[in-house]
Amino acid sequence: MAFKTNIDNYREPLIAILEEIIDADAFDDKFMDKILRRHPKDGKGFFRRDELIRAYRQYAGTDVLPPFDQAILAKLRLKPTRTISGVTPVTVLTKPFPCPGKCIFCPNDIRMPKSYLSDEPGAQRAELNAFDPYLQTHSRLTALHNTGHPTAKIEIIILGGTWSFYPETYQIWFIKRIFDALHDFGKGINRSEEVKAALRETSQLHPDMNITNTTIHGEIFDRSYNQVVQTIYDREMYRSREEAQAIAGGLVERTPITEFATWSELEVAHEENETARCRCVGLVIETRPDHISEEEVLRIRRLGCTKVQIGFQSLNDAVLTLNKRGHDVAATRRAVHLLRKAGFKIHAHWMPNLYGSSPEADIEDYRKMFTDRDFCPDELKIYPCSLIESAELMQYYRRGDWRPYTQDELLTVLTEVFRVTPPYVRLTRVIRDIPSTDIVVGNKKTNFRELVDKNLVREGIRSQEIRSREIRNKEVSMNDLRLDVVSYDGGIGEELFLQYVTDENDIAGFLRLSLPEEEPITPELTNAAMIREVHVYGQSLRMGRSMDGKAQHLGLGTKLIETAVEIARDAGYERLAVISGIGTREYYRKRGFANGTLYQIREL
């Protein structure tokens, strides 16, 4: 292989670098820089981390280096925080497609699915891969592997527009092809060239074919996003529906990019993934509250989803109306209620600085999210409104009807957000990763979370939200941890957040347990308490592996599950259900759970 030949050409300096890294007691980026300077590539350049990692994988356990050690790989890993939360996230985007929303704040980049911008990092990767699910997944896994990240436990995050608005056949195919990529990658198979060749022949979304330069300007806004994408991508819009009909009629054969798969084919892929080398331990989609129904909730569960990103944006009807959101707060209540009955993790999006709001109103709105039992999401993305040129909000800004908050105003709002967020909530993102060149006016600081942290420190406060407390790489023993239980009303009954924490309140692992008091959403959940999430922090490890001193070595997941069993039994439930990811089914079977239709069940 060309790459191995290249590594062998640099054998001497690479081994010298690796020997110094292996022998080092203390290690940080500055120390790494010194080593790289002592052993330059071609006498002048630096070796990249992926080159060091591939060299280590090649030479470890040979006559020149000691046996392979995960701790050494951790030293070499690029951006270790990417997988420090226990799983490896892989984000993929759906293709450009009409959206039922008409929100005035939303970007209208017709090269992207609604609300995304073509120069956001994840969007660039998607466009380069023609929005194909197989290519996006396989290329991302390869990049993660090459930079030293584990690829055994993957959380798939599907972004783009409103998932529930895409054709069902496209949805089934999209997810099935993600699983195909996981399985191929785990077996060392790469079918990317075959997929690219098929895309080049028939799809306008292939980078060589997608040459449109049409743009939407928010000040003019004479055509909507939906009108433009349906004109430009006419063939792509309804390809999956046409192909489904043609395949059902036996008129065409499928290719690697045919947007069609059956439920039974997806179920076969699910079954294979249960014991695959590269498993999907969580599957996330995003949608709107007004597209959640009982039928939809059960359907996305059948797809294998475990978490739903859902746009609250505001809990004020007047603000939603002014921003042409297209639904009211009652729709959000209904959506959260149904999602919680089905056991989903609820990942809300909330936007301060919307048209018609104010810093004071935003703070009140955020407090309502956790004082009103009908909301109480598990995770949150906080996206302060920034003005993008393609958004209709441009007209409001030019008229003087809307202005961005000053830095001090935004800092006040976000500091209060962190101050009042309950300990069972994770603030996954505080500022959206929009390139500053795309922002006409509004916050352009991507490190605003650090500004908030400094503000809290000055006030002598530590945020209780989960991300601020993650144990990360700290070494712990069971003697360092205690079990803490947070109880709150989740709208359908009591919710318990079981967490193992240190004396400093750092969190090593947690379990979300629902004790419903309402009729179940499906007979499968009759008289059942439900585990909605189990998560143990620390560097992501392969199923069954452990590293001494790390949280994932302590069996915290099993301890949390057995505690949930005791609580559910004492509360009078006959069964304990879990909304498990496809790749975690084997884990739960070993802990007494049996596969059901949509859930795994343990009899009490």
Which domain-ending residue is among 469, 493, 524? 469
- Establish if 294 belongs to a structural domain: no
* Average of per-residue pLDDT across 19-41: 78
- Establish if 18 belongs to a structural domain: yes
166, two tokens: 């895409």
Which domain-ending residue is among 76, 93, 114? 76
71 has a pLDDT exceeding 50: yes
Cα separation, 208 vs 451, in Å, equals 42
For residues 66 and 104, membership in a common domain is answered with no
Split at pLDDT 50, 70, 90, the class of 360 is very high
454 has a pLDDT exceeding 80: yes
Rounded to an integer, what is the distance from CA 139 to the centroid of its chain? Answer: 17
pLDDT at 551: 56
- Establish if 299 belongs to a structural domain: no
DSSP string for 353-408: T-TT--HHHHHHHHHHHHHSTT---SEEEE----EETTSTHHHHHHHTS--PPPHH
577 has a pLDDT exceeding 60: yes
For residues 328 and 451, membership in a common domain is answered with yes
523, two tokens: 């007979």
Total domains present in the chain? 4
Contact present, 483 and 500 (Cβ < 8 Å) = yes
DSSP string for 119-176: TSHHHHHHHHTTT-HHHHHHHHHHHHHHTT---SEEEEEEESS-GGGS-HHHHHHHHH
* Average of per-residue pLDDT across 467-483: 89
Contact present, 382 and 427 (Cβ < 8 Å) = yes
Question: Which of 95-109, 212-226, 559-573, 583-597 is the least confident region?
Answer: 212-226
Rounded to an integer, what is the distance from CA 481 to the centroid of its chain? Answer: 28
Of 418, 564, 590, 404, the residue nearest 497 (C-alpha): 564
Residue numbers of the domain that contains 14:
2-76
For residues 445 and 511, membership in a common domain is answered with no
Split at pLDDT 50, 70, 90, the class of 2 is very low
For residues 599 and 479, membership in a common domain is answered with yes
pTM score: 0.89
151, two tokens: 């690829």
Q: Nearest 5°: phi and psi at 139?
A: -65, -35
Which domain-ending residue is among 469, 495, 516? 469
Cα separation, 278 vs 143, in Å, equals 14
Cα separation, 300 vs 521, in Å, equals 13
List, in sequence order, every residue forming a beta bridge with 430; answer none if it has no partner: none
Which tens digit of pLDDT belongs to each residue from 321-338?
999 999 999 999 999 999
Split at pLDDT 50, 70, 90, the class of 3 is very low
For residues 41 and 124, membership in a common domain is answered with no
What CATH number does the domain containing 545 carry? 3.40.630.30
For residues 356 and 207, membership in a common domain is answered with no
Question: Which of 178-187, 221-230, 386-395 is the least confident region?
Answer: 221-230
The amino acid sitting at 82 is: R
For residues 273 and 393, membership in a common domain is answered with no
